[in-house]
Amino acid sequence: MRRWTALLALAAGSAAAHARVPLCVTDFPPYVSAAAPDGGSITALARRAFESGGLGVQTLHVPWVRAFAMARNGECLLLSLWRNEERDTLFLYSLPVTRMELGLFVRADLDTPLPPDATVAYQRGSYLPAALADGRYQLYELVDPRPGLEMLRRRRVDAVMSERATFEHLLASQPRGADDVRWQAPAIEVKNSYIAISRHHPQAEAWLALLNREIRRSVRN
């Protein structure tokens, strides 16, 4: 009986070692993106981490809402998540993978602060810093951030709230360039982003250990 128990444990460990780690890849360039050759910088980091431990990865290209639900159910890892009290009850986290600046993009010809009645576009479902959620500005919801750029250029809104690198990535992809739009310093808020896995996932500790080893290696390099 002991021999069979040991063999079963060995077989289970071998199967776990050769499992493919499911990564939910959303549309959050340059960090996570199905359109990027490497899946984005955080996707590439996760792939290196698991390959160093002899594991392959499976990338699942899904919208953010579905990705969050899948990760909550233990069906995949979320590659970029900001922490809050509610999420902390659902997930365990890697070390921080990047620091993200949240703030406003405005027209380049704006040389004064935004007026109190300014209209600020933001993506529906995204995190709103307290400085924007206090009623100071009129908020305009967008399903996708890309129309916000054109609305800003046409003066239909006064600013677009976004994570800085993500919107700069969008600006860089524009054929007409980005000289007419600028980042308004300083950032409204700076947040750490983490790779997250369900608290109840049986491989959570082992997979986070691999991720944290790669994150430390990346910081050193």
Per-residue pLDDT reduced to its tens digit, 11-70: 334 444 457 999 999 999 999 999 988 999 999 999 999 999 999 999 999 998 899 999
68 with 123, same domain?
Answer: no
Q: The CATH number of the domain where 45 resides is what? A: 3.40.190.10
Residue 87 belongs to some domain of the structure:
yes
What are the two backbone dihedrals, phi and then psi, of residue 188, each rounded to the nearest 5 degrees? -70, -35
107 with 167, same domain?
Answer: yes
106 with 185, same domain?
Answer: yes
Distance CA 138, CA 140 (A): 7
91 with 152, same domain?
Answer: no
186 with 206, same domain?
Answer: no
Residue 45 belongs to some domain of the structure:
yes
92 with 50, same domain?
Answer: yes
Three-state secondary structure of 46-92: HHHHHHHCCCEEEEEECCHHHHHHHHHCCCCEEEEECCCHHHHCCEE
Q: Which residues of 170-194 are buried (b: 16+ CB within 10 A; e: fewer)?
A: bbeeeeeebeebebeeebebebebb
Residue 31 belongs to some domain of the structure:
yes
Tens digit of each residue's pLDDT (9 = 90 or more) over 66-89: 999 999 999 999 999 999 999 999
111 with 177, same domain?
Answer: yes
116 with 158, same domain?
Answer: yes
92 with 197, same domain?
Answer: yes
Residue 216 belongs to some domain of the structure:
yes
pTM of the predicted model, to two decimals?
0.83
Residue 7 belongs to some domain of the structure:
no
CA 217 to chain centre: 20
Per the structure, the count of domains in the chain is 2
DSSP state of 167: H
Of 136, 155, 165, 190, nearest to 28 by C-alpha is 165
Residue 91 belongs to some domain of the structure:
yes
Task: Tell me what pLDDT residue 135 has.
Answer: 86
C-beta separation of 100 from 164 below 8 A: yes
- Quote the domain boundaries for residue 31: 14-98+192-220
111 with 178, same domain?
Answer: yes
Task: Tell me what pLDDT residue 176 has.
Answer: 72
Task: Tell me what pLDDT residue 134 has.
Answer: 86
* Tokens encoding 73: 């159910």
